[in-house]
Amino acid sequence: MNMILPYELLEIFQYQFMQHAFEAGTIVAIVAGIVGYFVVLRRSSFAAHALSHIGFAGAAGAVLFGVSPVFGLLLFTGAGGAGIAILGPKAANRDVQIGTVLAVMLGIGVLFISLYTGYATEAYSILFGEILGISLSDVLLTLAVAAVILVAIAFVYRPLLFASLDEDVAEAKGMPILGIGIIFMLLVAVATSIAVQVVGVLLIFALMVTPAAIAQRVTKKPSRGIIVSVAVALFATWLGLIISFYEPYPVSFFITSIVFILYLLVRFAYPRIRPTKTAQIQPDMH
Amino acid sequence: MVSIQTEKKENYADSTLIITAENVVAGYEDRIIWRDANFVVGRGQFVAVIGPNGAGKTTLFRLLLGLQHPISGNLTIFSNRPTRGNPKIGYVPQKHGIDEETNVECLELVRLAISGKQWGFNRSRGNDRKIALETLQAVGAADLAHRPLSDLSGGELQRIFLAEALVSNPDVLLLDEPLSSLDLRRSRELVQLINGIVRSRGVTAFLVAHDINPLLPFLDNVIYLANGKVATGTPEEVLTSECLSILYGVHVEVIKDSKGNVAIIGSGTEKDSDFVFGNRCVSCNEDEKK
């Protein structure tokens, strides 16, 4: 790759498809970073994983019936998310329920794909994302959906945080655990549906789980954690898009690689530079 | 029916009576866990809930929290039937979702115990923080405020959970096996801390435990659950060979050492059914028997 000078970066934005990619990518990174923080805190990454695959079935169905994949995604992930939350009311130990719902939905997805007689590129773009092919209407829909998610999170923020940390106490305090669980899964479902455009069904973890996992390693305050999670998702998305403009490889590959490298750095290099426990305790001992 | 009841309802003025149970039967539609519970508990009492695994100790808490309802009988708390979400009850469950991956600072958890129920924006953040810090101070955990939950030892975590339960200034504390993962010294420290809270704030505390000995010097009452039955009274009344023999339905011997620690030794009719209660617990041996 040749050196890219800063002013040359502006060249990227002369292309409308790159503008749309940046707009959608930015919105999705913010939403995925926030929702992802709760996914990691609640140990619900398998649920998020399952929802993205359930979304695949929905998107395949939408393509089959000739409507935009995002509607199929929203319908299937929403139904799947609510189903998982109702079948396994407690966040922990619901792997079996998730697996059950996941299997049947994937089966339906396979059926839809086999019934669809068009080009395989549709399925390919659902699986791996197609951010460079995003239209203005897609961007506007993404923006509208993201606004709904952000308002919903502002509303449920503290009950969701508390129920995620200490579900039994929250239940005893009379908080609606099942309702919070359903709202959370719906938020994941909707976030997944819009994130699929950027990284695809198979790679959704790159935006939904890894940035949040990084954030939870570097900060112990939830509010800061969410900010770090969003920052990592944004950084990876932007950098991935810039590189992909100059290199003929998929954006998804660059985004997933960037977050993975950051994760490795935080996992293995960060503990060495972070203030140690003993250093924190010592002042009290004197 | 096993019921050692010296403390009658009439002994209490209405204002000091916190919990009454009359012929309470607990369990699920298809299975009764225990029956014929009769007891009264007053303000500022320290009560141990003792018994083998599966005897229904947590069930008693679920009834008091309004998460489950008695099959029959009358259970009241603050003169009313228990309802879910009573702010006068502080609860420390046996299991928490917190583990070595939960990199969230302690202060945050205690603050959420105040504001976690609130939807939308929080308008009293500064005040919450102050109350949370004061409560951490009260349980001797002020220095843990900014440490992540994932870093804490078992004893430190129990202090944080105690602060989480105390922060709403409850009248009743329900503590489900807070001592289970602690060594003897830490157990003693935590029990002394809880006792201090009971005496200084007039809180009524129920503590589920396997080993009653660390608690004995501080207890007002014991609720002993075993064999589908409930014995209640002062430790002196309940921890006797007669009472526990009736409760277990087999001959049980209660032995005291010079420091007042009790060991409960039972001999049933079956071979290998001897069990010791004290440093080892009844439940361990009961489990082996099955």
On chain A, the residues whose CB falls within 8 A of the CB of B146 are 220
Please give the single-letter amino acid code of residue B221. Answer: N
Report the gap between the CA of A48 and the closest CA in chain B (Å): 19
Query: CB distance B108–A162 less than 8 Å?
Result: no
The H helix count followed by the E strand count for chain B is 8, 12
Residue B21 placed within a domain? yes
Interface test with A, best of B84, B101, B103, B162 (most A CBs within 10 A): B103
Contact residues, chain B to chain A, C-beta under 8 Å: 65, 67, 83-87, 89, 91-93, 95-98, 101-105, 108-109, 112-113, 115-122, 143, 146-148, 151, 164-165
Kindly report the backbone phi and psi dihedral angles of residue B25, in degrees, each rounded to the nearest multiple of 5, phi listed first. -115, 125
CA distance A250 to B65: 55
Give just the sign of the alpha carbon dihedral A109, A111, A115, A120: positive
CB B83 within 8 A of CB B148: no
Report the gap between the CA of A276 and the closest CA in chain B (Å): 11
- Let me know whether B25 and B153 are in one domain: no
Name the DSSP class of B216: G
Give the CA diameter of chain B. 65
Query: CB distance B121–A168 less than 8 Å?
Result: no
Average pLDDT of adjacent 10-residue blocks, chain B of 290 residues:
52 76 92 93 95 91 95 94 94 86 93 91 84 95 94 93 95 95 91 96 94 92 93 90 86 85 72 37 34
- Let me know whether B149 and B184 are in one domain: no
Interface test with B, best of A45, A94, A168, A229 (most B CBs within 10 A): A168
Residue B93 placed within a domain? no
Decide: helix, strand or coil at residue B111.
Answer: helix
What is the CATH classification number for the domain harbouring B17? 3.40.50.300
On chain A, the residues whose CB falls within 8 A of the CB of B83 are 174
- Let me know whether B140 and B195 are in one domain: no
CA distance A188 to A45: 10
Residues 6+ apart with CB under 8 A from A197: A24, A28, A70, A129, A130, A131, A134, A138, A142
Report the gap between the CA of B27 and the closest CA in chain A (Å): 18
Domain end: B198, B215, B237, which one? Answer: B237
- Let me know whether B1 and B60 are in one domain: yes
Give how many domains chain B has, as a whole number: 3
CA distance A120 to A53: 17
On chain A, the residues whose CB falls within 8 A of the CB of B89 are 172
CA distance A24 to A221: 28
Query: CB distance A222–B148 less than 8 Å?
Result: no
Domain that holds residue B279: 238-289
- Report the DSSP beta bridge partners of residue B193: none
Query: CB distance B117–A159 less than 8 Å?
Result: yes
Interface test with A, best of B104, B111, B166 (most A CBs within 10 A): B104
Neighbour count for residue B195 (Cβ, 10 Å) = 17
- Let me know whether B13 and B72 are in one domain: yes
Q: What fold characterizes domain A10-281?
A: ABC transporter involved in vitamin B12 uptake, BtuC (1.10.3470)
pLDDT at site B270? 42
- Let me know whether B176 and B102 are in one domain: no
Whole-model pTM?
Answer: 0.86
- Let me know whether B4 and B79 are in one domain: yes
pLDDT at site B14? 58
CA distance B196 to B188: 12
Residue B206 placed within a domain? yes
Name the DSSP class of B8: -
- Let me know whether B181 and B163 are in one domain: no
- Let me know whether B84 and B2 are in one domain: yes
- Let me know whether B114 and B176 are in one domain: no
On chain B, the residues whose CB falls within 8 A of the CB of A163 are 116
Neighbour count for residue A29 (Cβ, 10 Å) = 28
Partner-chain residue, chosen from B105, B115, B164, that has the shortest CB–CB distance to A221: B105
On chain B, the residues whose CB falls within 8 A of the CB of A158 are 112, 115-119, 122
Name the DSSP class of B262: E
- Let me know whether B189 and B53 are in one domain: yes
- Let me know whether B62 and B128 are in one domain: no
Dihedral, A207, A211, A212, A213 alpha carbons, nearest 10: 120
Residue among B173, B156, B4 nearest B146 (CA): B156
Kindly tell me the burial class for residue A278, based on how many C-beta atoms sit within 10 Å of its own C-beta (0-12, 13-18, 19 or more): exposed
Domain end: B168, B194, B225, which one? Answer: B168
Partner-chain residue, chosen from A155, A164, A168, that has the shortest CB–CB distance to B120: A155
pLDDT tens per residue, chain A (286 residues)?
456 666 777 788 888 889 999 999 999 999 999 999 999 999 888 888 899 889 988 988 998 888 888 889 999 999 999 988 888 766 556 788 888 888 888 898 888 888 877 666 777 777 778 888 888 988 999 999 999 999 999 999 999 999 999 999 999 999 999 999 999 999 999 999 988 877 788 778 889 999 999 999 999 999 999 999 999 999 999 999 999 988 888 888 999 999 999 999 999 888 777 655 444 444 443 3
Sequence spans of domains, chain A:
10-281
Domain end: B168, B193, B208, which one? Answer: B168
Please give the single-letter amino acid code of residue B113. Answer: A
DSSP notation for A113-126: HHH--S-THHHHHH
Size of interface A-B (CB pairs under 8 A): 95
Query: CB distance A167–B105 less than 8 Å?
Result: no
Give just the sign of the alpha carbon dihedral A271, A272, A274, A277: positive
